Structure 1
C-alpha cells in the first residue's frame, strides 16, 4: 500500500505540475488578446480575473490530455533514474502493475476533463458571451444573425436572438410535405420561449395549395417545438461547442445547422474524449523501463512525447472526418484511442519481455 501511494504521489504531483504550467501558458496567451479590450471598457483587473475564471473550463479541457502525457513522462523517467523501477521489478512487481498504480491520477484528470467540458463549460460559455456582449461598445457590436437552421422537419430563419436564448427576432418558419414541397410559411417579428413552447407574436401564416395561396394574420400563436434556449445560444454563438446534451437534443429534432454526422460524432466524442488521458499515460509508460545509462532513455522520452502529439493530431483529424460524414462516427471517435492504446501496450509488452 505504501509503495502504491508513493508511485501515485509521484505521478499525481508531476501531472498537476504539468497541468499548472500548461494552464498558465494558455491563460497568458488568451489574456494577451483580450486584456487591452477589457481595460479599455473600464472593467479593470476584476474584469480580467472574471474573464479568466469563465474561460478556465475550456482551457482545462485543452490541457488535460497533454498534462497527463508530460506528467507521466516526468514521473516514470524519475522512477527509472532513481532505480525505483528496478527495485520494484526485483520484488516481483510487473510494469503493468506499476502503470496501474499511477492510473488513478490519469483517471482523476479524465473526470476533471469530462466535468469541465460537459457540465461547467456549457454553463459558463453563455455567461461569458452575454457579459462580453453587454460591455462591447455599440459601434463594435456585430450582428449575430441571420441564422438558418432545422427544427425537426421545419426550416427556420431568425435574424437575431436574445443572449439568454429565450427570444428570436424576425422569424420565418417553412414547412414542407413528405415530398419536400413548401406548404406553409409563418412570418413573425418575434418569438419568445414560454414554458415548453414558443409564442409567435403578430404571426402571418401563408399556406400554399397548388395555385392557391391563403394568408392569415394572428396576434399570437403557439409554435410547439423541441427547440430550447440552450439550442438557440449554441446556434447563435460565435464559437459553438456542442455538449453531449445539446448534441443529443439536436439528434432528437432540436435546432441543427449541421448534418447528423456532426452531432453523432460530438455526442460520442463527449464520452470518448476524456479517455485520451489514459491513452497518454500508456504512451508515457514505456519510459519507466528505459535504461537511462544509455541512449534508450532519451529515445523513449522523445518517442513518447512525439507519440502523444501525433495521437492528438490523428484524433482531431478522425473527428473532423467523422463530423463531415466521411467516416463512421464510431470509427472517428474510437479509432485514435484504440490504435494508439494498442501500440502503447505492445511497446510495454516488448520492453517488459
Structure 2
C-alpha cells in the first residue's frame, strides 16, 4: 500500500486537485454529449418521423421506440467528439483562470497536470466499451430489422443475423438472400443454385423459396430447377439438398460486426478460419471495437495545446481552434483507415491502431513544442549557441 501511495504521489497531483479536474471534465462531457444527442436526435426525427408514422397502426409509441433505438447509436458515435470538446473547455478554463500557472509554480509537469484528465477519460472509455457491447449492438440490430420491415407495428422478434450470402462449393455457386435463425432451426430464404461443369459451363439453375436444416440434413422447399442442355423445368415441393456446408458457416458469414458483441464476433472469426475463409474484414471490425472507445484517451493530450501557453498573449482562441483541428484530423484518419481495413487494403492491426499511435506521437510533439513545453529545448539550444567565457580573450590575443 505504501508503494502504491508513493507512486500516486509521484505521478498524480494532490487528491483534491485530481478530484477537482476529474469532476470538471466528466460534468462537461455529460452536458456536451446530452446536448449533441438531443440536437442530432431532433434532426433525425425531422428526416424520419414521417416514415415511422406511415406504418399501419403507428402512434407516438413508435416515435418513442425509434428514439430509444437511435439515441444509443448517436451517443456511442459522438462520445469521443464530446470528450474532445470537454477536454478543450476544461483546459482552457484552467488556463484562463491561471490555475495551470499555479500548478506549474507548485512544480507539476505537463504530464502530471494532464494525468487526472487521462484517468477521467479512462472511466469514460470503460463505460463507452460496456455500453457498446451491451446496448448499442442490440439497438443497431433491432433498428435495422425494424427499418427493413418499414417500421411495421407488432413485428415478430428478430431471431438472428440477416444478410445476403454467396458461397462456392466445388463447382456450385450458391446465393442466399436472407439467413435467419428461428429457435434451433436455421432458415435460408430464397436460395439460388448455379451448377457448373468442370470446364466452367453452366449446367443447371435451381431456385428454392427457402431451405431448412434438420436432422443433420438440408431440405429445399418449393424448388424450381432448369436444365440448360435439355431446357426442362422441374418443379418439386421439397428435395434433400446434398451439401456439406453446416449452418454455423452461414451464420458466421452473415454476422454484422455492429450488431453483435466482440465475443460473438470472435466466434464468427474462428468459424471462418476453420472454413479456410478470409477474416481480414471481420478482424478489422473486431479490433475497431476496442480502438473506437480507446480514442477518447487521446483527447486530453490533443487538447493540451489549450492549457499550456501564456493567456495574456491573446491566442487562447487560436489554441482552441488548433486543438479542435487536431481532433477532427484524428477522426478523419480513423475513419479512413477503418474503411481501408474493411475493404482489405490495409492489415487489420494497422487499420485499427495506426491512427491512435500516430496522433499519440503528434499530441506529444505538440505538447513539447508549446510555449511552456519547449523551454527545456530552448535552454539546450541557448547553451549550444552561447560563446565560451574565454572567447573574447582569445579574440584579443589573436588581434
Report if the CA contact (8 A) 1:318-1:332 is conserved.
Answer: yes
Matched, 1:147 2:167: no
Instruction: State the Cα distance separating 1:242 from its structure 2 match.
Output: 6.7
| Matched position secondary structure for 2:311 | coil
Which one of 183, 187, 190 corresponds to residue 210 of structure 2? 190
Instruction: State the Cα distance separating 1:147 from its structure 2 match.
Output: 2.7
Report if the CA contact (8 A) 2:176-2:190 is conserved.
Answer: yes
Matched, 1:37 2:59: no
**Deviations 1:146-167, CA, capped at 9 Å, x for gaps:** 9333489885312345597942
CA RMSD of aligned residues (A): 4.0
* Rg larger in structure: 2
Instruction: State the Cα distance separating 1:341 from its structure 2 match.
Output: 0.9
Structure 1 residues 108 and 49: alpha-carbon distance in aligned structure 2, compared to 1, 3 A threshold: farther
Report if the CA contact (8 A) 2:88-2:303 is conserved.
Answer: yes
- Correspondences of 1:245-324 after superposition (within 5 Å): 245=263, 247-254=265-272, 260-324=279-343
**Deviations 1:76-95, CA, capped at 9 Å, x for gaps:** 10111111111122122222
| Matched position secondary structure for 2:93 | helix
Partner of 1:79: 94
Instruction: State the Cα distance separating 1:194 from its structure 2 match.
Output: 6.4
**Distance of 1:229 and 1:21 partners within structure 2:** 39
What's the TM-score once normalised by structure 1's chain length?
0.78
Partner of 1:95: 110
- Correspondences of 1:201-216 after superposition (within 5 Å): 201-202=220-221
Structure 1 residues 226 and 137: alpha-carbon distance in aligned structure 2, compared to 1, 3 A threshold: closer
Partner of 1:244: 262
**Deviations 1:41-98, CA, capped at 9 Å, x for gaps:** 3422221111111112211221011001000000010111111111122122222112
**Distance of 2:297 and 2:67 partners within structure 1:** 28
Matched, 1:14 2:28: yes
Structure 1 residues 296 and 327: alpha-carbon distance in aligned structure 2, compared to 1, 3 A threshold: same
**Deviations 1:83-122, CA, capped at 9 Å, x for gaps:** 1111122122222112111123212222233233333222
Instruction: State the Cα distance separating 1:302 from its structure 2 match.
Output: 1.0
Partner of 1:128: 143
Structure 1 residues 287 and 151: alpha-carbon distance in aligned structure 2, compared to 1, 3 A threshold: farther
**Distance of 1:182 and 1:51 partners within structure 2:** 47
Partner of 1:337: 356
**Distance of 2:356 and 2:169 partners within structure 1:** 34
Tell me the number of residue pairs that the alignment of Structure 1 and Structure 2 aligns: 333
**Distance of 2:43 and 2:252 partners within structure 1:** 29
Partner of 1:171: 191
Structure 1 residues 125 and 49: alpha-carbon distance in aligned structure 2, compared to 1, 3 A threshold: same
Report if the CA contact (8 A) 1:203-1:220 is conserved.
Answer: no
**Distance of 1:320 and 1:253 partners within structure 2:** 23
Instruction: State the Cα distance separating 1:344 from its structure 2 match.
Output: 0.7
Partner of 1:224: 246
Structure 1 unpaired stretches of 5+: 139-144, 207-214
Name which of structure 1's ranges 298-307 and 70-79 shifts more when overlaid on structure 2.
Answer: 298-307
Matched, 1:113 2:131: no
**Distance of 2:173 and 2:110 partners within structure 1:** 57
Report if the CA contact (8 A) 2:191-2:207 is conserved.
Answer: yes
| Matched position secondary structure for 1:171 | strand
What's the TM-score once normalised by structure 2's chain length?
0.70
Matched, 1:70 2:85: yes
Structure 1 residues 48 and 89: alpha-carbon distance in aligned structure 2, compared to 1, 3 A threshold: same
Matched, 1:158 2:176: yes
Report if the CA contact (8 A) 1:151-1:253 is conserved.
Answer: no
Report if the CA contact (8 A) 1:58-1:116 is conserved.
Answer: no
Instruction: State the Cα distance separating 1:335 from its structure 2 match.
Output: 1.3
Partner of 1:212: none
**Deviations 1:195-249, CA, capped at 9 Å, x for gaps:** 9x77434498x9xxxxxxxx997458795232365864749xxxx7675345434
**Distance of 2:199 and 2:262 partners within structure 1:** 32
| Matched position secondary structure for 2:210 | strand
Partner of 2:386: none
Instruction: State the Cα distance separating 1:283 from its structure 2 match.
Output: 0.4
Partner of 1:141: none
**Distance of 2:103 and 2:127 partners within structure 1:** 30
